[in-house]
Amino acid sequence: MTQKRALICGVSGQDGAYLAQLLLAKGYHVCGTSRDAQVSGFPNLVRLGIKDRLELLSMVGTDFRSVLNVVARVQPDEIYNLAGQSSVGLSFEQPMETLESIATGTLNLLEVMRFIARPIRFYNASSSECFGATGDQPADETTPFHPRSPYAVAKAAGFWAVANYRDAYGLYACSGLLFNHESPLRPERFVTQKIVTAACRIAAGDRRALHLGNLAIRRDWGWAAEFVDAMHRILQLDGPEDFVIATGSTFSLQQFAETAFQAVGLDWREWVVSDPALHRPSDLLANRGNAAKAERLLGWKARLTMPGVVAGMVSAALHAGAAV
């Protein structure tokens, strides 16, 4: 059989690194992009021990010619679009960068696929943020969108661009509406890693308190390495379809903090401060996903929920600290 070729746009991030690891294990030739591959250290790829096994290329998603050059050079069988500004909180400070990097980047990839007219399967990383607050009702593929942040607006635009190109031009293009998924590869600007890092820091003797925003928010947290497996499965179907990928279980940010601090023998109440200054202009009080379609058609179901996610992140953080 001819070796499959995959192009991962945004390979330096959490999902890109785990996806690259998965595809390499499946025998793919994997190419990955970042804005400037010559200067990026790709620390996540280094941490997973796979950096030297990938072909790494520079690509600017908002530049059509840059996208065209890379896709024409790689000649991929599958494209995974994971690039773009990835922080909900930062999107309030950088709305234009967020919209352009996500929506325009997605549109350029779709237009390149249409332009070169080659049978490429395209996965687009959409987000549960598109749904807004789902409350007690878990969101599935039929749930209307109600984006509440510039990030969510950009992801919704990308989702509909994919749907439009699929319908109008017959492209094999689909989106995964992924709920929150974490791992040790998360940067500390994400609240989950911020909590884990602080818990380990305080356990090691640092007495500084951890300041968080709204502790009452509830999220559906899963494990990133499991979620990238769903991405790959989506592109193996006979025809393109969109999927919600989630655990179906929700926990509050307070519970996340309590679990992380408990894992290192601390009482979170002694170290965590809820700081109104860290509240977002508009935030989702609760979200939860229904991944029944993914289980039925992909054979995919999340194994880890929040307690298991925290255990994995804390273990990795403690191991990294011990190795320093």
Structure tokens at 284: 């989702």
Between the CA of residue 114 and those of 30, 108, 117, 266, what are the distances in Å?
Answer: 22, 10, 5, 55
Q: How far is residue 228's CA from residue 222's CA, in Å, rounded to a whole number?
A: 11
pTM of the model: 0.95
Q: What is the pLDDT along the chain (324 residues), one digit of tens a residue?
A: 689 999 999 999 999 999 999 999 999 999 999 998 888 899 999 999 999 999 999 999 999 999 999 999 999 999 999 999 988 889 999 999 999 999 999 999 999 999 998 899 999 999 999 999 887 789 999 999 999 999 999 999 999 999 999 999 999 999 999 999 999 999 998 999 999 999 999 999 999 999 999 999 999 999 999 999 999 999 999 999 999 999 999 999 999 999 999 999 999 999 999 988 877 776 778 899 999 999 999 999 999 999 999 999 999 999 886 543
Q: How far is residue 271's CA from residue 202's CA, in Å, rounded to a whole number?
A: 8
The catalytic residues are: 127, 129, 151
Q: How far is residue 231's CA from residue 244's CA, in Å, rounded to a whole number?
A: 11
Q: How far is residue 309's CA from residue 241's CA, in Å, rounded to a whole number?
A: 28
Could you state, in order of their start, the residue ranges of all structural domains in the chain?
5-181+223-245, 187-219+250-286+305-323
- Taking domain 187-219+250-286+305-323, whether its CATH number is 3.40.47.10 is answered by no
CATH topology of domain 5-181+223-245: Rossmann fold (3.40.50)
Question: What amino acid occupies position 288?
Answer: R
In sign, the C-alpha dihedral spanning 230, 233, 238, 240 is positive
